Amino acid sequence: MTHPFLKSIFFTFALLSGCALEHEPLPVTSLYKNTFKLSATESVLPDPAAINKNVIPPSPYETPVTPKEFTLDQAVQTALKTDPRINAAMENVRQAEADLTTAGLIPNPDFSTGQSLMPLNREFTVTRQGGPPQFDVGVAMPVDWFLFGKRAAAIVSGQYGVDAAAADFANTIRLRISATIKAFYDVLEAQAMVKLAQENQKNLVAMEKIILNRVALGGVGSIEADRIKLSLFASHRELHTQELNLASALNQLRALLGISDNTVIGVIGTLDVSKPTHPISIEEALKWAEENRPDLTALHRQLEKANANIQLEERKAYPQITPRIGYTRQFQQQAIGYPDANSWGAGVDVVVPLFDRNQGNIAKAKSVRIQTQHNLQAQLVDLRAEIDQAVKTFTSAYQFIINDDPGQLDAAENVRDKINQAYELGGKTLLEVLDAQRAYLETYKVHISGHSSYWHALYQLDAAIGKDLLH
């Protein structure tokens, strides 16, 4: 099964390729790729299919609703297709492309026409001469965009703007994928906790039946019946709390999937860790992050754009030069008695940069470059801290899976079952039974949390370095 990040590259490319560009945009290849090994038939801690049947039992007056289930691949792809934030980020790319198109346009020629020296309060004649009236047509075309490279500088700046917007778009996808994966595993963990709470309640109910029978036969005092009832009340509260946690996790996933109606959703996946991925060093993770993180790429492109903008503003300081050519028709026959005449003229208009040499915009462009450099340095500092935390968190989760988790669950379950059997035979007290049950419950919680933490930490590290650690 292909990792959703690989599919997201195709999705990104499809969106970007639909826009008409005059240059090759920055390829969005920094999204990390992965392969999941998820199947509805794999063991789940606990099995989510059982939870879906037990957490919210259908009312006898309502038709049972089959949930719409998602694998991790399906959840990520659905989030990418329906998330309005991704669509909004795509518009930034289109806007940058529009700016590039504008930068590459050649200025329009200026066409002018008019008639002058017309009679005002009397007619022009040979004896009363005036004018003569004339009709003028002219065309002017600026050339400073070509002579001084203003258009070329604007195109370079626009290209970097498109690249920066494309990298920002890729980073939006990276963050959305990461959030979807986190929500998916939150649901798996919440489902496992609900199933565990149901199992604990079932065990306590069975124990209550045994105790009530022993109380009826006079084997134990009624105080033990009260104790088991208190434990049942606590298990009810625990189950209710875990059901609320599951509902919250499902709502979070529903929002990421863009589901606004009352569609019941579920997930198909596993918390089992068959082959734990070996941790990496912080320096190795930093190297990969600097190579693959699209937010860093965006800042580098913004810095290049800032440098290009300085050159653009400096070129704008060159004078505006506009050559012009015109045609004139003079109506002389009536006005002065000479034949009408055609003539032409040419000239050049030059704006002399005596006072305004674009000093303010040049200074602003230089300030933007310095600001972008500081933002890049700050991002690198934050990245170091993020990578350090992500690597240590994953290493800790890996150590739990390798060293702490194996065997502890089986040991707790064996102790619980043996004490239960001994209690039925009268060899153990109720307090010992409840203590064993509590120890098993806490151990299983740690087991579930440990496996969930492993997957959370792994994919958070993937998101931090922009690279798949499973391959």
Kindly list the structural domains of the chain, giving each domain's residue range(s) and its CATH number in brackets, ordered by start. Answer: 4-107+142-318+353-465 (1.20.1600.10)
Q: How far is the CA of 299 from the CAs of 34, 167, 172, 198, 378, in angstroms?
A: 25, 9, 14, 50, 11
Q: Quick one: tokens of 350?
A: 């030059």
How far apart (Å, rounded) are the C-alpha atoms in residues 242 and 55? 10
pLDDT at 70: 94
The β-bridge relationship of strands 265-267 and 321-330 is: unpaired
This prediction's pTM? 0.75
pLDDT at 423: 62
Query: 């968190």: which residue's tokens?
Result: 393
pLDDT at 8: 47
pLDDT at 223: 75
The residues facing 341 across adjacent strands are 330
DSSP 272-295: --SSPPPP--HHHHHHHHHHH-HH
**Residues making up the chain, counted from first to last:** 471
The C-alpha torsion from 103 through 108 and 109 to 115, rounded to 10°, is -140
Q: pLDDT digit of tens for each residue in the chain (471 aa)?
A: 444 444 444 344 344 444 433 444 333 333 444 433 333 333 444 443 443 433 444 444 445 568 889 999 999 999 999 888 888 899 999 999 999 999 999 999 999 999 999 999 888 888 889 889 999 999 999 999 999 999 999 999 999 999 999 999 999 999 999 999 999 999 999 999 999 999 888 888 887 887 787 777 665 557 777 787 888 898 899 999 999 999 999 999 999 998 888 889 999 999 988 889 999 999 999 999 999 999 999 999 999 999 999 999 999 999 999 999 999 999 999 888 899 999 999 999 999 999 999 999 999 999 999 999 999 999 999 999 999 999 999 999 999 888 876 666 666 667 667 666 666 656 667 777 777 778 778 888 888 899 999 999 999 999 999 888 765
Query: 């990298």: which residue's tokens?
Result: 167
pLDDT at 470: 61
Rg of the chain over Cα atoms, rounded to whole angstroms, equals 38
Backbone angles phi, psi at 426, to 5 degrees: 85, 15
pLDDT at 406: 66
pLDDT at 92: 95
How far apart (Å, rounded) are the C-alpha atoms in residues 471 and 469? 5
CB 294 within 8 A of CB 98: no
Question: Which of left, alpha, beta for 312 (phi over 0: left; psi -120 to 50: alpha)?
Answer: alpha
pLDDT at 434: 77
Q: Quick one: tokens of 374?
A: 């500081």
Chain center to CA of 375 = 20
